[in-house]
Amino acid sequence: MCIEKSPWEQVIDFHGHTCPEISLGYRVAQIAMRELGIRPAPNSELSVIADTHSCALDAFQVLNHVTYGRGNLKVNEKKSHIYHFQYSGTSEGLQISINTKMLEHLAVAHDHLTTREKQNKNLEAIQSILGTEETLFCTILKVKLPRVVDLSAFSKPEATEQSLPPPHCSIAPQSS
């Protein structure tokens, strides 16, 4: 018997571990899917521009089917958790900005904690990110954008950066 994995399990399998930023990406990806609704045309492709390179991007790759390789996932590094979603051929887009209070869960210093304490802090952060009321979690704006989004202004991370977790990810990938 084959049991299909939940979207959360698919994201975690792809990313390699559970961390607060992957839960943030999971939640943003789901909000974007809900807000954008169905694809406006069969050949429309979703594009995402993130204003920071973080673990959250792995959730977009799994749930929103955007990738660096296909060029529909780009990072415009501004060190802010603002994400822009748009279907090709449309002039309407979506901007999701994470509220500052939520970002405090991503910046927890773990240097002085035991392994168990770090795990507990991460689980608390994940529960808060996934369980906070949406209006307290983020701001969602429907925005008018040019019909054709020129993504060429945004650079892809170097190949070595793509294979490593962002420097601020506090958890090392799990070994098999």
Judge: domain 7-146, CATH 3.40.50.12240: no
Averaged pLDDT score across all residues of the chain: 84
Q: Which residue type, as a one-letter code, is found at position 49?
A: I
What is the arithmetic mean of pLDDT over 54-66?
95
Q: What is the DSSP string of 80-149?
A: S-EEEEEETT-SEEEEEEE-HHHHGGG----TTS-HHHHHHHHHHHHHHHHHS-HHHHEEEEEEE--SS-
CA dist 106 and 122 (Å) reads 9
Domain boundaries, the chain: 7-146
- pLDDT tens, 89-105? 888 899 999 999 898 87
Which comes out higher in pLDDT, residue 168 or 146? 146
Percent of the chain predicted with pLDDT > 70: 82
pLDDT of 164 strictly over 50 = no
Q: Structure pTM?
A: 0.81
